[in-house]
Every structure is written in C-alpha cells, then in structure tokens.
Amino acid sequence: MAGNRMGRREALAGLAAATLGTAAGTGAPRAQDLTKASIALLKLSSSGPIFIAQEKGWFRDAGLDLAMKDFQAAAQVPLAVVSGDADLGVTAFTAGFYNLAAKGGLKVVAAQSAERPGYQLNVIAVTNAAWDQGVRAVKDLAGKRVAVTTVGSSVHYSLEVVSRKYGVDSKSLTIVPLQTIPNMVAAFKGGQVDAAVFPITTFRQVESEGSGKPIAYVGDEVPWQLGAVFTSPKTIVERRPMIEKFLVGYRRGARAYHEAFGTRDNGKLVPGPNYDEMIGILSNVLKQPPALVAAGLPFIDPEARLDVGDIYKQVAFWQSTGQVSRDADPKAFIDLSFIQGHFNVP
C-alpha cells in the first residue's frame, strides 16, 4: 500500500514537472526554452510558408522563436546573412547571390519558390505601342528596349532564358535596368521602353488600366528554381539544431501552402483545403486584397526540395556572361543534408 502511494506521488511529481516545462500546461514550449533565430526575407507571396508557419505557431511548436527581418530588395537578403544580421535568409537567386556563395559566405539548404507551368509568377509584357507595331511574341523583341529591375536579378535571368528559347540573342535587346518596380511601371506607361518583365500582380494592375499586353508567362516557357532558403557555413557548424527546427516549421508551412494553392487548371488556381484561412494570412501580412494575392502565388514544393541541377545551370549561365566568378561551384554551396529527396541532383 505504501509502495502504491509512493508510486502515485512520484507520478504526480513527474506530471507537475512536465507541466512546468510547458506554457500554461498546453504542451507548447515555454518562451525561455525556445531557440531564438532570425530570418531575412521580402514581404512577398514567395515567403508564404514562413508567414503561415509563424501565424499558426508551427515554429514555436518546433522549439523556435523566429524573428522576421523584412527587406526591400532581393540583393539585401543574402548580405544580411553574410554580415550576421540574420541567421537565415530566403529570397530569389541572383548573380550577386552566387558571387557571395562563391566566396564561402552562403549555403543553400532548402527550396523556396520556383517557376512552373500554370503558375503565373512573372510575365513578359509589351506596351500598347509595341503591340501595335507588331511585337506580339518573344521572337519579336529583337531590337527593342526591355525593362528589368537590375542586371543579374531573377527578373533579368527570366528574360535571358525565355529569349534564348526563342532564338533571340540578348545582345540584340537593349536591357534597361530601372532598379525598382515603380520605376519600371512608369517607364512602361510612359513609352520609354517597349517591354518589361513584371511580377504578375504588378502587371495585372497595369493591364487593368489598359497599358499593355502579355506575350509570355515565364513559368510556362522555362521552368526554373527561383529561390531558396540559405544560411552561412558558420551557422551550420555552430547552430545546426536551430536550422533543423526552422525547417520543421517551414515544411509544415510549405505543405499547408501547397495544399491550399498548389492545384491549377489551365493556369487557374483551384482552391484547396483551408484556402480561405491561408489566403487570409497572406493577405494580412502582405497588406493586399485576397484576390490580388491569389493572382501571384508561385509554386512552392511541399517538402522544400530543390531542383539542384537547375541551380548548376543558372551558375553556368551567369559565368558565361561574366557576372559570376569562375570559381563559383554549386556543389560547394548547396547542402543537401537537411532535406531528403532533392530533384535533378548531378
């Protein structure tokens, strides 16, 4: 009998200790037990899995207290990781990214967004004047002025690979880097350029004002791995468990994103499970109406798997143009150990 009472007291003591180890006995980790981390990103739909996981508490469930640091340009995100201002980063690949990686500053660990058929993420559009002059397809862009954000950007790469598909030498184009999307819109509407590569949400606004026409959707023309999750080599060595916790939450967010937004029918989004909740989360974070958010949702692999071979192809392209150093080696800066089942691994 005494033994039974002792066993019961020990069991109750163990239960109390377990309860004290969680927040209000809910099973969630206490704030002081969470690993702190920060991630640099852009407030775009391509960061959707992170916003969803944060809102749903999935990073906390994984033991992570994640702070999000919002930047205005893709080039700023890897710099924040290299400088130590952020532990992790997520954004599009650029020539600048690959140069930083070549110097040993960055390691890619998981996928972000990708251009895929049916996902209208970026569009090549022409002005009404160019359309009236017969510029109706990519092959007609030779000799024309085409606006991009910056040389070496993902927008620039999109223009290059789609042009090459149709036999248009980019040297025959006048590529006009205008730094920001608003500058591109102004130049497009004002007739200073004949065409531009726009994010679809921007173009839909331009199109609704009757200011231009689409001639190619990048994902339908040339699928490619647009972005990734990355960190520094030092962080992998010193804080690997933190990265693993992040990826637990991130993949939950990616799966929820894919379930809600991953089905397309002739280029049209077919709402999936929990669509209203997920689009509501993104609408609130991005400060955009749900319909506008829905118009620009990229493909994101539900398991955060990379198209590794495509990254090799991107690096080779930028090296051929002289914008990425010859010593950039994707094998050295892609870490395949965090996520299983990556695609097209050389």
Note whether residue 25 is domain-resident.
no
Note whether residue 201 is domain-resident.
yes
Closest C-alpha to 159, from 193, 186, 189, 198: 198
Mean pLDDT in residue range 104-127: 95
| pLDDT at 32 (0 to 100) | 73
| pLDDT at 324 (0 to 100) | 97
Note whether residue 199 is domain-resident.
yes
| pLDDT at 113 (0 to 100) | 96
Q: Rounded mean pLDDT of the chain?
A: 91
| pLDDT at 27 (0 to 100) | 58
Indicate whether 4 pLDDT > 60: no
pLDDT per residue as tens digits for the range 128-165: 999 999 999 999 999 999 999 999 999 999 999 999 99
Indicate whether 344 pLDDT > 50: yes
User: What is the domain-level CATH number for residue 325?
Assistant: 3.40.190.10
pLDDT confidence tier of residue 21, bands split at 50, 70 and 90: very low
CA–CA separation, 305 and 321 (whole Å):
28
Mean pLDDT in residue range 111-123: 93
Specify the pairing of strand 88-92 against strand 299-300: unpaired
| Of 222, 239, 262, the domain-final residue | 222
> What domain range includes position 138?
122-222
- Between 21 and 333, the higher pLDDT residue: 333
- Between 318 and 200, the higher pLDDT residue: 318
| pLDDT at 109 (0 to 100) | 98
Same domain? 236 vs 323 = yes
Same domain? 327 vs 238 = yes
Note whether residue 6 is domain-resident.
no
Q: Under 8 Å CB-to-CB from 60, ≥6 apart: which residues?
A: 28, 29, 34
SS3 of 194-253: the string is CEEEEEHHHHHHHHHCCCEEEEEEHHHHCCEECEEEEECHHHHHHHHHHHHHHHHHHHHH
Question: Do 295 and 200 form a contact (C-beta atoms < 8 A)?
Answer: yes
Containing 25, the helix (H) or strand (E) segment is none
Question: Do 93 and 308 form a contact (C-beta atoms < 8 A)?
Answer: no
> Total structural domains in the chain?
2
Per-residue tokens: 211: 């200011």
Note whether residue 9 is domain-resident.
no
pLDDT per residue as tens digits for the range 69-98: 998 888 899 999 999 999 999 999 999 999
pLDDT per residue as tens digits for the range 202-228: 898 899 899 999 999 999 999 999 999
Same domain? 321 vs 290 = yes
| pLDDT at 197 (0 to 100) | 96
Note whether residue 101 is domain-resident.
yes
Indicate whether 229 pLDDT > 80: yes
Same domain? 323 vs 178 = no
CA–CA separation, 49 and 46 (whole Å):
8
Same domain? 67 vs 153 = no
pLDDT confidence tier of residue 271, bands split at 50, 70 and 90: very high
Same domain? 286 vs 145 = no
Same domain? 137 vs 212 = yes
Note whether residue 20 is domain-resident.
no
Phi first, then psi, for residue 152 (nearest 5°) are: 90, 0
Same domain? 254 vs 126 = no
Indicate whether 342 pLDDT > 70: yes
pLDDT per residue as tens digits for the range 234-264: 999 999 999 999 999 999 999 999 999 999 9
Q: Is 322 exposed, middle or buried (0-12, 13-18, 19+ CB in 10 A)?
A: exposed
Residues of the chain by 3-state class (helix, strand, coil), percent to 5: 50, 20, 30
| Of 222, 251, 280, the domain-final residue | 222
| pLDDT at 17 (0 to 100) | 42
Question: Do 239 and 81 form a contact (C-beta atoms < 8 A)?
Answer: no
Q: Is 297 exposed, middle or buried (0-12, 13-18, 19+ CB in 10 A)?
A: buried
Note whether residue 40 is domain-resident.
yes
103: helix, strand or coil: coil
Same domain? 151 vs 240 = no
Question: Do 87 and 81 form a contact (C-beta atoms < 8 A)?
Answer: yes
pLDDT per residue as tens digits for the range 5-17: 444 444 434 434 4
Same domain? 287 vs 328 = yes
| Of 173, 204, 222, the domain-final residue | 222
Angle, CA of 220, 72 and 260, to the nearest 5°: 45
Same domain? 147 vs 214 = yes
Same domain? 109 vs 248 = yes
